[in-house]
Amino acid sequence: MPKYDVKDIGLAKKGMDRIEWAAMDMPVLESIKKRFRKDRPLKGIRISACLHVTTETANLMDTLKAGGADVVLCASNPLSTQDDVAAACVKYIKVPTYSIKGEDNKTYYRHIMSAIDHKPHMTMDDGADVVGVLHTKKKDLLKHVIGGTEETTTGVIRLQAMAAEGVLQYPIMAVNEAMTKHLFDNRYGTGQSTMDGILRATNRLIAGSVFVVCGYGWCGKGLARTAKGMGAHVIVTEVDPLKALEAVMDGHQVMPIKEASAVGDIFVTVTGDLNVIHKGCFPKMKDGAIVANSGHFNSEIEIPALEKMKKKKRMVRDYVEEYTLRNNRRVYLLGEGRLINLASAEGHPSQVMDMSFANQALCAEYMVKNAKKLEKKVYDVPKRIDESIAALKLRAMGVNIDKLTAEQKKYLSSWEMGT
Ligand SMILES: NC(=O)c1ccc[n+]([C@@H]2O[C@H](COP(=O)([O-])OP(=O)(O)OC[C@H]3O[C@@H](n4cnc5c(N)ncnc54)[C@H](O)[C@@H]3O)[C@@H](O)[C@H]2O)c1
Is there an atom of ligand 1 within 6 Å of 272 CB?
A: yes
Q: How far apart are CA 393 and CA 262, in angstroms?
A: 44
Q: How many CB atoms lie within 10 A of CB 287?
A: 11
Res 417: pLDDT: 81
Res 418: pLDDT: 77
The residue to mutate among 271, 278, 346, having the most atoms of ligand 1 within 8 angstroms of its beta carbon, is: 271
Task: Tell me which amino acid residue 239 is.
Answer: V
- Residue 416 pLDDT class (50, 70, 90 cuts): confident
Mean pLDDT taken over the chain: 97
Is there an atom of ligand 1 within 6 Å of 269 CB?
A: no
Q: How far apart are CA 28 and CA 45, in angstroms?
A: 22
Is there an atom of ligand 1 within 6 Å of 171 CB?
A: no
Instruction: Name the closest-CA residue to atom 41, ligand 1.
Output: 272
Nearest to 76 by CA among 101, 93, 52: 52
Is there an atom of ligand 1 within 6 Å of 154 CB?
A: yes
- Residue 419 pLDDT class (50, 70, 90 cuts): confident
The angle subtended at Cα 124 by Cα 123 and Cα 126, nearest 5°, is: 130
Is there an atom of ligand 1 within 6 Å of 62 CB?
A: no
| Cα distances (Å, whole numbers) of residue 112 to 97, 174, 199, 315, 346 | 10, 20, 31, 29, 22
Question: Mean pLDDT throughout 146-157?
Answer: 97
Instruction: Name the closest-CA residue to atom 17, ligand 1.
Output: 217
Res 123: pLDDT: 98
Backbone angles phi and psi of 164, in degrees to 5 = -65, -35
| Cα distances (Å, whole numbers) of residue 30 to 23, 49, 190, 361 | 8, 19, 23, 11
What is the Å distance from ligand 1's center to 269 Cα?
A: 8
Q: How far apart are CA 124 and CA 172, in angstroms?
A: 9
Question: Mean pLDDT throughout 255-274?
Answer: 98
Determine the distance from the C-alpha atom of residue 139 to the mean position of all C-alpha atoms in its chain, rounded to a whole number: 26
Q: How far apart are CA 269 and CA 151, in angstroms?
A: 19
Beta bridge partners of 4: 97
Q: How far apart are CA 376 and CA 166, in angstroms?
A: 8
Beta bridge partners of 174: 150, 380
**DSSP letter string, 38-76:** HH-TTTT-EEEEEE--SHHHHHHHHHHHHTT-EEEEEES
Task: Read off the pTM.
Answer: 0.95
Is there an atom of ligand 1 within 6 Å of 120 CB?
A: no
Is there an atom of ligand 1 within 6 Å of 359 CB?
A: no
Q: How far apart are CA 357 and CA 80, in angstroms?
A: 17
Closest ligand 1 atom, residue 216 Cα: 39
Reported as a single tens digit per residue, the pLDDT across 116-131 is 999 999 999 999 999 9
SS3 of residue 283 by DSSP? helix
Question: Mean pLDDT throughout 83-112?
Answer: 98
The answer to whether the CB of 264 falls within 8 A of the CB of 232 is: no
Reported as a single tens digit per residue, the pLDDT across 5-14 is 999 999 999 9
Percent of the chain at pLDDT > 70 equals: 100
The residue to mutate among 296, 300, 346, 359, having the most atoms of ligand 1 within 8 angstroms of its beta carbon, is: 296
Reported as a single tens digit per residue, the pLDDT across 301-360 is 999 999 999 999 999 999 999 999 999 999 999 999 999 999 999 999 999 999 999 999
| Cα distances (Å, whole numbers) of residue 140 to 101, 116, 129, 341 | 30, 11, 17, 36
Closest ligand 1 atom, residue 186 Cα: 6
Question: Mean pLDDT throughout 159-165?
Answer: 98
Question: Mean pLDDT throughout 47-53?
Answer: 98
